[in-house]
Structure 1
Amino acid sequence: MKSDPKECLYCQNNETQHELMIEVAKLSVSRLFIFKEQTYHGRCLVAYKDHVDDLNLLSDEDRNAFMADVAKVTRAMQKVFNPDKINYGAYSDTLSHLHFHLIPKYVGGPDFGGVFQMNPKKVYLTDEEYADMAEKLKKEL
């Protein structure tokens, strides 16, 4: 399904986006965000820099660069948050802009061994805690 960049959360950089996530850094071909809902401590999101509906629409070079960005972020997440596993979610049923949800999972933590909840709306941090997470991630990038 083709989507319109004028209606895209990531392209418009609008209030809805700011309610859901905090931009941390620009990477080689993408942007890194901390997801504000932190049921899964350290949850991040990597969105491709341009409006592309699907990974298979990128050139091999751009796809490899995007996946390198995703790997770079998960390496930083591993160092900063030390999860037991990181889950990758690439859903675009209703928001067709290439992005990956990166969800740290911890043994004994929420949904370990199962599918993560997209937005359980349970755990939110202070502005200072988000800023601390962002600084630690940037340092590891």
Structure 2
Amino acid sequence: MSDQNNCFYCTKDEKLTDIMIKICELEASILYLFKEQTYRGRCVIAYKEHKSEIFHLTDEERNLFMKDVARVAAAIDKGFSPNKINYGAYADKMTHLHYHIVPKYENGPSWGGTFEMMPQEKVLLSAEEYQQLINQIKENL
């Protein structure tokens, strides 16, 4: 079975929907709200096609993808006013090109260090609270 057949960004099954909510499609990517919200406004942006490395993209594809990444980071900055945004591109086991866009807040969790991928004490929200975050991000895209 190929990586693409095992990839929840490609199959869009419950493995994906259990941890993320689709916000919208952008030029080269799909934007998701990460359900675990220790870092308020945390999103994941995944390239639309199954690619495992940024260097597998053409110059044009890479530029469009990075434009999407910057656009999302700017929307999160405008919507949530974090002190810093961290970017994570860890894909040892999930070989689909994606970035975690993680707002960090001074005196908040992991300030001054690497954000936790899946914190032990998870911050999960109600459906209404997730929708409020999604609306806030969309308004600023």
Residue of structure 2 in register with 1:93 after alignment? 92
What are the within-5 Å matches in structure 2 for residues 112-123 of structure 1? 112-121=111-120, 122-123=122-123
The residue identity in structure 2 corresponding to 1:126 is S
Q: Does the residue aligned with 2:129 lie in a helix, a strand or coil?
A: helix
Measured in 1, the distance between the counterparts of 2:72 and 2:124 equals: 21
RMSD: 0.8
Residue of structure 1 in register with 2:110 after alignment? 111
How big is each residue's C-alpha offset from its partner over 1:8-30, in whole Å with a ceiling of 9 and x where there is no partner? 01000000100100000100010
Measured in 1, the distance between the counterparts of 2:116 and 2:130 equals: 20
Residue of structure 2 in register with 1:72 after alignment? 71
Task: Output the TM-score relative to the length of structure 1.
Answer: 0.96
The residue identity in structure 1 corresponding to 2:39 is Y
How big is each residue's C-alpha offset from its partner over 1:40-77, in whole Å with a ceiling of 9 and x where there is no partner? 11100100000001101000000000000000000000
Measured in 1, the distance between the counterparts of 2:110 and 2:55 equals: 29
Aligned length: 139
How big is each residue's C-alpha offset from its partner over 1:61-110, in whole Å with a ceiling of 9 and x where there is no partner? 00000000000000000011110000000011000000000110000000
Deviating 4+ runs (over 3 angstroms): none
Measured in 1, the distance between the counterparts of 2:138 and 2:115 equals: 25
Gaps of 5+ in 2: none
Deviation at 1:116, TM superposition (A): 0.7
Task: Output the TM-score relative to the length of structure 2.
Answer: 0.96
The residue identity in structure 1 corresponding to 2:53 is D
Residue of structure 2 in register with 1:53 after alignment? 52
Deviation at 1:120, TM superposition (A): 1.0
Residue of structure 2 in register with 1:126 after alignment? 126
Residue of structure 2 in register with 1:137 after alignment? 137
Residue of structure 1 in register with 2:10 after alignment? 11
